[in-house]
Amino acid sequence: DSGVTQTPKHLITATGQRVTLRCSPRSGDLSVYWYQQSLDQGLQFLIHYYNGEERAKGNILERFSAQQFPDLHSELNLSSLELGDSALYFCASTAGLTGQHTGELFFGEGSRLTVL
């Protein structure tokens, strides 16, 4: 158990819909990262939040947005869903209260999104 909790584990929805994925980082971790894993694309970095602030953006579509709340949990919002958005979405956390980046990312179990 990595200590990172993601919900829901599975989600099936239709094209055009909007979903929210939730992530609770390890206790004390200030950084939350979101990654998308599709069959042939490996792990694609989407966005990074540190202590409530957006720190870096990767290949995140404009239809996607994220935020990190004061209690450090994060949500990834996916809207106007398309078939190609079907993927496994991972949240990962790192960095303790001192803000030191240990390097290791602790991944949650992922949220599998299926868009029909």
Partner 1 sequence: GENVEQHPSTLSVQEGDSAVIKCTYSDSASNYFPWYKQELGKRPQLIIDIRSNVGEKKDQRIAVTLNKTAKHFSLHITETQPEDSAVYFCAASIRGSQGNLIFGKGTKLSVKP
User: Do the beta carbons of residue 31 and residue 49 sit within 8 Å?
Assistant: yes
DSSP, collapsed to helix, strand or coil, labels residue 84 as: helix
As a whole number of angstroms, the distance between CA 52 and CA 7 comes to 19
Which is nearer to partner 1, 75 or 109 (by Cβ)? 109
Which is nearer to partner 1, 108 or 115 (by Cβ)? 108
Least separation in angstroms between residue 48's CB and partner 1 is 6
Least separation in angstroms between residue 58's CB and partner 1 is 8
Which is nearer to partner 1, 14 or 42 (by Cβ)? 42
Least separation in angstroms between residue 98's CB and partner 1 is 14
Q: Residues in the site for partner 1, rule: CB under 8 A?
A: 2, 31, 33, 35, 40-45, 48, 55-56, 58, 90, 94-95, 101-105, 107-110
Q: How far is CA 106 from CA 27, 38, 111, in A?
A: 11, 19, 15
User: Do the beta carbons of residue 43 and residue 110 sit within 8 Å?
Assistant: no
